[in-house]
Structure 1
Amino acid sequence: MKKLSFLILIFLSQIILAQAPANYYDGTAGLTGAALKTKLSQIISNGHIDKGYGGLYTGYETTDRDNFFEKDGTVLDMYSENPNGPDPYNYTPGQKQCGNYSQEGDCYNREHVVPQSFFGSNAPMVSDINFIRPTDGKVNGMRSNYPFGMVSKPTFTSRNGSKVGNNTTSGYSATVFEPIDTFKGDIARMVFYFVTRYESRMADFSTGNMLANNTYPSLQDWELQVLLTWAAQDPVSPEEIARNNASYNFQGNRNPYIDHPEWVQAVWGTTSSDTQAPTAPANLAVNSTTAFTATLSWAAATDNIGIASYEIYVDGILKTTVSGSVTSATVTGLVANTTYSFYIIAKDAAGNASPASNTVQGTTLMANTDTSCANEDFENIPANNNSYSTRTWTNKGINWTATDARTDEKLNNRAIVIRNGSLTGSAVPNGIGSLTVTTQLKFSGTEGTFDLFVNGVKKGAVPYASGKLTTTISDINIEGNVTVKLVNTSTSNRVALDDLSWTCYSSTLGLGETNVGAKKLTVSPNPVKNGTIQISGLEESNVRAEIYNMTGQLVQTVDKVSKTSDRIQLKNLPKGIYILKAGNQAAKFIIE
């Protein structure tokens, strides 16, 4: 197995190496550390053609197109790209270049991964496309000239999850910027490029608590450790390789750490020698539960280099893993009316595991066929503000984003007011049956509607008028994970939304309590207390019976049930609500 893995690594390295011209890296064989870094600096300085600051936008036409995520050819922006779903906004190359901005989505500009204030905006650094990426203007401005680090309590979070806040890794505690996991390796390799390409000028640059005024290692030790961790966590991607090739065609030099990612370790060493385990996460708590989820929070663990991930255990079994930059998570796929035990373990990039956190228990809520999968009352929206901007908040495990929205109006209680924008929730499990929301037109304007989209497909319209309206859109009936979005069809009407909720749905649970046929199937006793149920009202003999829990999971089957043999012995099913399906009939029952 080791031999096979070694051969695969050789094959992959040859593929990556093939991206660089023949003989491009001549003279590097056998070199390591400062000597390798200096040789690479000589190589990538030769052939570098400065196309000027204005030329960057021309370069972006080929270097930064999204041909890898949505594959729609829009500008690939590290600070707005959502690798796991629709982007919050997109830019068309050549359009909406900054310019002025007040909120995300206004325009994109040129983000110097190493801030240009460090080198006085001088050439050729100011226009070197190998470390300057197109990014949203607002997020670029919020990143400011902060170094890169790990954030546990952000003061700003962009719509794709990039964060600003105090650093949590050893050696530095001031403000840093943390991109999302997908682009951490990209960031690290761009910084490594910069301090290699310009190593002879490092003594003249400001450090910004990030760089070092020397040719080697050229980085503050704490920052170096963060970037080494990120480079290991996020390997070179096809997107980086394509960008490196396009950048070479544009300005005549390459990023060697994309062509040869192993040179990161060869130059600066590796974090793999790290043997110090993180401290245990503390103060684990269950903040809230639904019938099928539990939302947890905890105090961050600490590590000499950095926390890479948190593992969440449910009843002693690993359930899910989340990024080391977060201190809360929602565990999904649980069973209604059931008590669970939770603890978490922190891990660093070298794989060192912390002691377990404290163990806490939480009980999921009771459920029925009309279980509420979401219930947003807007009490957690940001503080009252009468300006229109992008607003984000989290409530009951759902991350909400409202665009062109204000927060100072009331409907039933606090409400979000949307003008030329939309309200979008993060993905929620257990489907959607029907949706209910209250609306009211504020200030002036005319009656209109919000379009309802579920998983990107229009499923209905929600009206609004000068008076308060509560609307229910029924029979949406979509299973699995759902993303709900309400879009104002007007560009000027200011409309308040309040008390938004929707019911869960699965094709199994959608049968409800009543039978499809003429007779009613019943279960007794109900609630069940002795592990045995008796059924009556069965239309057919010798039909298959199936029992489902409220997550839609099949938990027991009986091959044949007849009108004359109508007792079923349950198989140690936990307390909760269940659906019995027999033939084309169904009934609900409860186990106490």
Structure 2
Amino acid sequence: MKKITLLLLLISTFCFAQIPAGYYNTATGTGYTLKTQLKNRITNGHVDQGYGSLWNLYTNTAFRDTNYENDNSLLDIYSENPTGPDPYNYFSTSQQCGSYSNEGDCYNREHIVPQAFFDNVAIDPMKNDPFHVAPVDGKVNGLRDNYPYGRVNSPTNTTANGSKLGPNYNSGYSAGYSNTVFEPLDEFKGDIARSIFYFVTRYEDSMVSFYNNTTVISKNMFDGTANNALSPTFLKILITWHNQDPVSPKEIARNNAIYNYQGNRNPYIDHPEYVCQIWSSVCAALSTDNFELEETTSIYPNPSNDGRINISTTAELNQISVLTINGQVIQKITNPNLIDNTIEISNLPKGFYFVLLEANGQNITKKIIIN
């Protein structure tokens, strides 16, 4: 989504109802001033619970699958299949790694911002912070290694749920980098972006020393400054993912659980609009990039009375995704074949949906209603 859409506004309102009264009263600025205000807010009250206690936190319902199969398995962003059966599941704490050689052997603790980026300066509390330390399959954790997150068109490795490792797609919103990156599923890209925005905000004062004291490849995500923090290519990637994959109920539940656990919150889950209030020039540039696609695309009939819509565009689409209001992908078409610049999507159940269209680094989201 190129702007704060109805979905983001709805979610912002829902999130606000979960926030302790007055929690963000000091967040009154814009730009880097706002970022520092948020840093002070989420540092105050943060009580480090240690690395070992994460295992117990991961048994909390907020870290379990209550959105997809609803089977109370561990919600692992590297193995969850949002549109069908998972390739494997973890239920018990006894399935922690351990040695592993294959997917499904065991799960461990994945640092979304790799530990190797900061451990030459300090370990705690960054190592132990569940806002960027997630329970994931051990094999895939090792495959991701210390690589940045990015877009992969030609994967060298593909995981059981479709996450990809390979050279970054050096075009569109991800232009400017061509080395190896790891691409998660669309369903979890916003989660990862907001985790990284949290990290560069909560640990703002340390970002320069982290950057200057490491040579790990994930360093390329950052620019060596405290304020902007993120390098141009990866800031565009993360803002695009943040907009394409809005805050979902699973993130809200996780945010509340972590607040109860360690006393602070992720402000970008509570207030998604903070991202573009801080990095406003990049958000504006991304919006301009999407103008041409917006102007040449239409969806009809809308509302639809028979579960079918037509997408008409002169753009060469790379992907079409249909998402529920909760952000769950129910249909995805890669490299769609348009006939006379039109493609039909059918078998849509009654409901309210968003259609995400991607073309050469541009993306727009359209609202549709199926009666």
If the length of structure 1 is used for normalisation, what is the TM-score?
0.48
From 200, 216, 220, give the equivalent of 2:205: 200
Distance 2:358 2:30 in 1: 36
Distance 2:144 2:260 in 1: 29
Matched, 1:267 2:278: yes
Q: Which residue does 1:111 correspond to in 2?
A: 110
Letter in 2 for 1:64: F
From 246, 249, 265, give the equivalent of 1:238: 249
Change (3 A) 1:300 1:209: farther
Distance 2:287 2:334 in 1: 16
Given that 2:107 and 2:136 are in contact with CA atoms closer than 8 Å, whether structure 1 keeps it comes out as yes
| CA deviation profile, 1:78-117 (whole Å, cap 9, x unmatched) | 0000001110000014121011110000000000000000
SS in structure 2 at match of 1:81: coil
Q: Which residue does 2:25 correspond to in 1?
A: 26
Q: Which residue does 1:186 correspond to in 2?
A: 191
Letter in 1 for 2:44: N
Q: Which residue does 2:15 correspond to in 1?
A: 16
Distance 2:8 2:235 in 1: 25
Q: Which residue does 1:37 correspond to in 2?
A: 35
Distance 1:350 1:113 in 2: 25
Change (3 A) 1:25 1:314: same
Given that 1:245 and 1:254 are in contact with CA atoms closer than 8 Å, whether structure 2 keeps it comes out as yes
Q: Displaced runs of 4+ in structure 1, greater than 4 A?
A: 8-12, 275-278, 308-311
Distance 1:24 1:320 in 2: 44
Given that 2:150 and 2:234 are in contact with CA atoms closer than 8 Å, whether structure 1 keeps it comes out as yes
| 1:18, distance to aligned residue in structure 2 (A) | 1.3
The root-mean-square deviation of aligned C-alpha atoms, in Å, is 2.7
Q: Which residue does 1:177 correspond to in 2?
A: 182
Identity %: 51
Higher relative contact order (CA 8 A, sep 6+): 2
Q: Which residue does 2:78 correspond to in 1?
A: 79
Given that 1:229 and 1:349 are in contact with CA atoms closer than 8 Å, whether structure 2 keeps it comes out as no
Distance 1:134 1:11 in 2: 29
| 1:348, distance to aligned residue in structure 2 (A) | 3.5
SS in structure 2 at match of 1:208: helix
Matched, 1:252 2:263: yes
SS in structure 1 at match of 2:68: coil
| 1:14, distance to aligned residue in structure 2 (A) | 2.5
Matched, 1:317 2:342: yes
| 1:208, distance to aligned residue in structure 2 (A) | 1.6
SS in structure 1 at match of 2:337: strand
| 1:320, distance to aligned residue in structure 2 (A) | 5.7
From 207, 210, 213, give the equivalent of 2:221: 210
Change (3 A) 1:345 1:140: closer
Distance 2:238 2:227 in 1: 15
| 1:350, distance to aligned residue in structure 2 (A) | 4.3
| CA deviation profile, 1:222-263 (whole Å, cap 9, x unmatched) | 000000110110000000000100011111111000000111
Q: Which residue does 2:90 correspond to in 1?
A: 91
Matches within 5 A, 1:12-411: 12-29=11-28, 31-62=29-60, 63-120=62-119, 122-168=123-169, 169-206=174-211, 208-269=219-280, 270=283, 271-274=286-289, 310-314=335-339, 316-319=341-344, 346-351=359-364
Distance 1:171 1:276 in 2: 21
Letter in 2 for 1:40: L
Distance 1:11 1:70 in 2: 25
Distance 1:164 1:12 in 2: 31
Letter in 1 for 2:131: N
Q: Which residue does 2:300 correspond to in 1?
A: none
Given that 1:311 and 1:346 are in contact with CA atoms closer than 8 Å, whether structure 2 keeps it comes out as no
Distance 2:130 2:364 in 1: 34
Larger gyration radius, structure 1 or structure 2: 1
Letter in 2 for 1:312: N
| CA deviation profile, 1:143-167 (whole Å, cap 9, x unmatched) | 0000010001101101000000000
Q: Which residue does 1:562 correspond to in 2?
A: none
Change (3 A) 1:173 1:9: closer
Change (3 A) 1:11 1:133: closer
Given that 1:233 and 1:349 are in contact with CA atoms closer than 8 Å, whether structure 2 keeps it comes out as no
Distance 1:80 1:22 in 2: 36
Given that 1:149 and 1:178 are in contact with CA atoms closer than 8 Å, whether structure 2 keeps it comes out as yes
Letter in 1 for 2:111: H
Matches within 5 A, 1:485-496: none
Letter in 2 for 1:199: E
Given that 1:50 and 1:128 are in contact with CA atoms closer than 8 Å, whether structure 2 keeps it comes out as yes
Distance 2:358 2:237 in 1: 20
Change (3 A) 1:204 1:81: same
| CA deviation profile, 1:454-487 (whole Å, cap 9, x unmatched) | xxxxxxxxxxxxxxxxxxxxxxxxxxxxxxxxxx
| 1:315, distance to aligned residue in structure 2 (A) | 5.0
Letter in 2 for 1:16: C
Q: Pick the structure with more helix per residue.
A: 2
SS in structure 2 at match of 1:122: coil
Given that 1:272 and 1:350 are in contact with CA atoms closer than 8 Å, whether structure 2 keeps it comes out as no
| 1:312, distance to aligned residue in structure 2 (A) | 2.8
SS in structure 2 at match of 1:70: coil
Change (3 A) 1:12 1:179: closer
Q: Pick the structure with more strand per residue.
A: 1
| Structure 2: tracts of 5 or more residues without a match | 212-217, 294-315, 319-332, 348-356, 366-371
Given that 1:16 and 1:260 are in contact with CA atoms closer than 8 Å, whether structure 2 keeps it comes out as yes
Letter in 2 for 1:132: V
Given that 1:119 and 1:205 are in contact with CA atoms closer than 8 Å, whether structure 2 keeps it comes out as yes
SS in structure 2 at match of 1:67: coil
Given that 1:40 and 1:256 are in contact with CA atoms closer than 8 Å, whether structure 2 keeps it comes out as yes
| Mean Cα deviation higher: 148-157 or 11-20 | 11-20
Change (3 A) 1:198 1:9: closer
If the length of structure 2 is used for normalisation, what is the TM-score?
0.75
